[in-house]
Structure formats: C-alpha cells, structure tokens
Amino acid sequence: MAHLISQLLGLVVLTGVILWSSMPAHASAPAKPVPAANAAAAAPSSKSPAPSAATAAPAPLGESETPRAEHFAYWYRQFIEQKGLAAKGEICIRSATCISDEGDYLRHAETALKIQRGIEAWANRGNRDAAYYAGRIAFEEAQGFDKEFLIYSNHQDYKYRESGRHFIALSDRELQRAKSFLLPAAYDQRPESCMLMGDVLAYEKLSGKNPDALVFYYCAAREYFQSGKRDLTMKAYGEMLRHGNANDPMIVEVHARLFDQQPANLWRPITPSQPKR
C-alpha cells in the first residue's frame, strides 16, 4: 500500500498542476442541481423501492440509474443512525435495570452492516461517491477501535492491557481499508476523497509533518478552488500549513490564488510603435 501511494502521489500532483495551470486564477464551476427528496439504500443489484421518509431522503432511483452522491449521503446518515441505536441497545443489555433483549442490539447492528456492505459494493464497482463514504466509514471505525484500546491501556492488570492490543490490529486493518477505498477516488481528483485521504495519513502520523498528507490536501484545495468553494479551500489550505513549510511550492501556489488580487489583464496592451518621421 505504501508503494502504491508513493507511485500515485506524483501522478496526482502532475495531473492537477497541468489541469490547474491551464485555467484562470479565479475559475469556478457551475453548481450542480440537488434533486428533491425520497430514496432507499442498497447494493448494486438492489432495486428496492424508495422509503417513505419525507424530506431527509433524496429523489428515488430509476430502474437503470446509478446512485448519485446525495443517495450515498442519505445511506451514510442511515448507517450512523442504526449504529447509534445498536450502541444504545448494547448499553441497555449490560444494564441490570433496563428491560431488553439482544434483539434491540442485533436488529440495528445487522441493518447498519447491510448498509455498509451495500456502499462498499458500489465502491468496489468503481463508484467514486460510494468510495468516499466507504472510506469514511472505515476511518471512523478505526478511530473507534483506538478509543477502545485507550480503555484497556489504562487498566492496572497487565494481561488486561495486553488483550487491548487486539483493537490496535483492528484499527490498522480499517485504516488500510479506508486508504484502499479513497486512493482511487483521490487519484481521480475528487476533492472530498483527497481531503479525507489527507486526514487518514495525518491520523496515522500523530505528531510532526506528513508530506504525503500535504499532497492530498493540495489536491483538495485545488479542486475546491476551481469549484468556487472558498471556505473549503481555506480549510484544506490550513491543513497544508500544518504539514508543509511555508515556502513549499504547493502552499505558495494555493496562497497566491487565495489572497493575491490579480487584475483582469496582467499586461498592458501591446500597440505597434509608430516610426518617427
């Protein structure tokens, strides 16, 4: 995975620089229309009808239509909701005063797992929107395992602390899965995936600057700027400053495009000189 990342980093920067250098400094892309609401989750082969939940869901899919970004965003929110209900059921099971059974936990955990597998199935088929959310879910799972490890690491029993190492292995596995989902999408210059890929690499290296993360934050800043999203460009630029030197060419370029006020015509018009008589 490290060798693959090192090979693609150069391609990401080279492709982006060529594309960006051919555009004016303040270019912006037209905003994409957002469809109205109502849809259902699923895997690539699913043709289930849209849910009746009112305004929170995007427009329903056609029979031959590929899910769009708003569909995956809706399914991701459903995944988070089901995970929360499963966690609530687990706490109730462990409490002596809460009347419940394992079904309150297993039902929601199974639903969340089905949603996750559906998103990952689309990601494995090359859908870049699905890849972003699949990588996001894996990254959040890795962070959760690290928090579990901290609970074990503070225990006085040595054997208890040693058993917590299992969560470190699970966290590392999820981080690798997150990168495997995000890297192809980042290579395709998808700004959200570039930004999240930078977050993953920065998370792996908890202290110090990470030049690999800097490259992906540059990718995100460049693409956000071209889309006219200045606030997100500023966010990516701030992360670039954390992981690179101020005189780095990528940081200098983004800074110039964000803060330099360039005239519409950089040069005075050239007029042919009149010969003296």
Mean pLDDT of 229-240: 94
Predicted pLDDT at 153: 75
Mean pLDDT of 152-162: 73
Nearest Cα residue to 53 out of 33, 35, 37: 37
Higher pLDDT, 5 or 136: 136
Predicted pLDDT at 277: 54
The string of pLDDT tens digits covering residues 43-83 is 554 443 333 334 457 766 555 578 888 999 999 999 999 99
The string of pLDDT tens digits covering residues 101-130 is 777 778 888 999 999 999 999 999 999 999
Per-range mean pLDDT, top range of 63-72, 93-102, 186-195: 186-195
Under the banding of pLDDT at 50, 70 and 90, the label for residue 159 is confident
Question: Is 60 exceeded by the pLDDT of residue 10?
Answer: no
Instruction: Evaluate whether 255 touches 214 at the Cβ level (below 8 Å).
Output: no
Mean pLDDT of 82-100: 80
